[in-house]
Structure 1
Amino acid sequence: MRYWGMILLATVGTAILLGLGLWQVQRLAWKTDILAQIERKILAPAIDIPAEVTAASHDLLPVRGTGSYIGEETVRVLVSQKIYGAGYRLINAFELRDGRKIMVDRGFTSVRAALPAVPKGTGQVTGNLQWPQEIDSFTPDNDLAANIWFARDVAKLSAHLQTEPILLVLRNSSFADDLARPLPKMSANIPNDHLNYALTWFSLALIWLGMSGYFLYRSRNSKT
C-alpha cells in the first residue's frame, strides 16, 4: 500500500509541476504578444501633440513638437542605469509654437558629470507621452531645496514648472547642443521572465520525478 501511495504522490507532484511549467509557457506567449503590441505603439509614426490629452487615451502615444525650452530650471529626477550607474533624468519646460507649455524628459546625465545646459533656440522634439507610475510607499519626499526628485509625478512636476500636465519622453531632437542621453520608453524595459519561470517549474518536475524514482527504487529493494 505504501509503495502505491508513493507512486501516486510522484505522479501527482510531477503533474502539478509540469502543469505550472505549461502555464508559464502560455503566459510567455501572452506577454510576448502584449510587448509586441506595446512596441508597435511606441514606434508608430509620431503625430502632432493632440489639443486634448489624457493619460487614459494617450499614454505612450508617439508625438512631435516644435518650439523652445523655457525657464532656467532643470528638474533632476534621481535614477540608476545599469551601465552608467546613478544619475538624473533631466526635465524642462518646453513651449510649443502655438504657445502651449509642456514638459520634456530630455534624458540621462551621470551624477558625476556637470549638468548639461538647457538647449537654446527653436527645434523639434520627438518622443512618447508618458504618465509614469513610479511612486510607492518607499518613495521619499522630493528634496526641492537641492532640486532632487525621486519620481516623475506628472501632476507635481507640471505645477512646479508651470506647464500643462503633459510629459514627452524624448527619443530624438534637432537640438544638437543637448548633451543629455535620451532614455526613451522601450518594451525591453518591461520584464518578461516567464521563460525562466517555466524552466524552473520543468526543472523541479524533473527533480521531483528523479527523487520519487529513487525512493521507489529504495523502497522496492528494501522489501527484497
Structure 2
Amino acid sequence: MTGRPWQRLILPSFLALPVLALLLGLGSWQVQRLAWKNGLLADLAAAQAAAPIPAPLAPEPFAHIIATGRFRPGAEALLGLEVRGPVLGASLIAVLDREGAPPLLVERGWVPMEGGAIERPEGEVTLTGFARPSERRTLFAAADDVAGRRFLNFDAPAIATALGVPEAPPYALTVIRPGAPRGPSGFGAAPPPSRGPLPEAATGFPAPNNPHLGYALTWFGLAAAWVAIFALWASRRMRSP
C-alpha cells in the first residue's frame, strides 16, 4: 500500500468515531438521568418530611396530603397487577366523597383479585398519603377493561369517568399506613401465616431505584476501552509494512 502510514487510518477512524460518539452519548444521557433521579428522590424526601396539607385540586406530584370524607359504596376499580406470595392481586381504587369539595380518587392498597375480606368503612374517614399523578398512556400500553373496571394504566380521568365521578381531580391519594403488614412479593414467595386487614396499604412514600451512576460509568468505561483498543490497533497498523 502506498502513501503515508497515517493515511491507512482515515477510513477506520471514520468507522470508529460513530461508535465512540454513541457510547459517550449514552453515558451523558445516564448522567442527566442521574441528576433527574437525585432531584426526584430529594423531592420525595422533602414531601414525606413535610406536614400533610388538605388535598387540593392540583397538588404537586407526590405531595403529602390529607383528606376527610366517606367512601362511595360500589365505586371501586382495580389497578395494575402484582403477585404477593402465591396470590395475584391489584391496587384497589375507591371514590371518597368530600363535603364542599369534589370527590377524590383514593388508592387504598393491594387486594387479591379473588377472595379476601376487604374492609369498607361506612362512616367518615380521614386518610393521609401522597398525591399520585395521572400517567400518560404510551403507544404500546395495554388496553384497559373499562366496563369491568380493571385498569393496567393509571389514567386518572379515565378511571374517574368509569366510576361516575368525571369531576374528580386528575390524581389519586395513595393511602399510607406506616408499619402496616405487607405480604411477600413475587412468584415462589411463601405466603404469610395470616394477612393483615385488606387492602394492604403502602407503608411509605415511593423509593425508586437509582442505578444511573453505575450505568454512566459502564458506558464511559466502554468508550475508554474502545479508544484504547483502537489506539493499540492503530499503532500496530502504522508500524506494519
- Superposed pair shares fold, TM > 0.5: yes
State the partner residue of 1:179: 198
> Are the structure 2 counterparts of residues 145 and 30 from structure 1 closer, same or farther at C-alpha, using a change threshold of 3 Å?
closer
Gaps of 5+ in 2: 182-195
| SS class of match (1:188) | coil
Cα displacement (A) at 1:193: 4.7
Identity of matched residues, %: 19
> Are the structure 2 counterparts of residues 198 and 121 from structure 1 closer, same or farther at C-alpha, using a change threshold of 3 Å?
same
State the partner residue of 2:236: 218
Per-residue Cα deviation, 1:9-37 (whole angstroms, up to 9, x for no partner): 49x95985785477357425522442234
Q: Please give the alpha-carbon distance, in whole angstroms, between the structure 1 residues aligned to 2:124 and 2:97.
A: 10
Any conservation in 2 of the 1:31–1:192 contact (CA below 8 Å)?
no
Q: Please give the alpha-carbon distance, in whole angstroms, between the structure 1 residues aligned to 2:222 and 2:46.
A: 38
Q: Please give the alpha-carbon distance, in whole angstroms, between the structure 1 residues aligned to 2:34 and 2:118.
A: 42
Alignment of structure 1 residues 6-45 onto 2, 5 Å: 6=9, 9=13, 13=17, 16=21, 20=25, 23-24=28-29, 26-27=31-32, 30-43=35-48, 44-45=50-51
Q: Please give the alpha-carbon distance, in whole angstroms, between the structure 2 residues aligned to 1:138 and 1:22.
A: 27
Alignment of structure 1 residues 1-224 onto 2, 5 Å: 1-3=4-6, 6=9, 9=13, 13=17, 16=21, 20=25, 23-24=28-29, 26-27=31-32, 30-43=35-48, 44-50=50-56, 53-54=57-58, 57-80=59-82, 86-96=88-98, 98=100, 100-111=102-113, 114=116, 116-163=118-165, 164-166=167-169, 167-172=172-177, 178-183=197-202, 186=205, 188-189=207-208, 192-220=210-238, 222-223=240-241
| SS class of match (1:206) | helix
1:49 counterpart letter in structure 2: A
TM-score, normalization: structure 2?
A: 0.68
Cα displacement (A) at 1:205: 2.1
Measured on the aligned residues, the alpha-carbon RMSD in Å equals 3.9
| SS class of match (1:208) | helix
Cα displacement (A) at 1:63: 1.0
More helix by share: 1
2:64 counterpart letter in structure 1: P
Q: Please give the alpha-carbon distance, in whole angstroms, between the structure 2 residues aligned to 1:18 and 1:137.
A: 27
Any conservation in 2 of the 1:91–1:105 contact (CA below 8 Å)?
yes
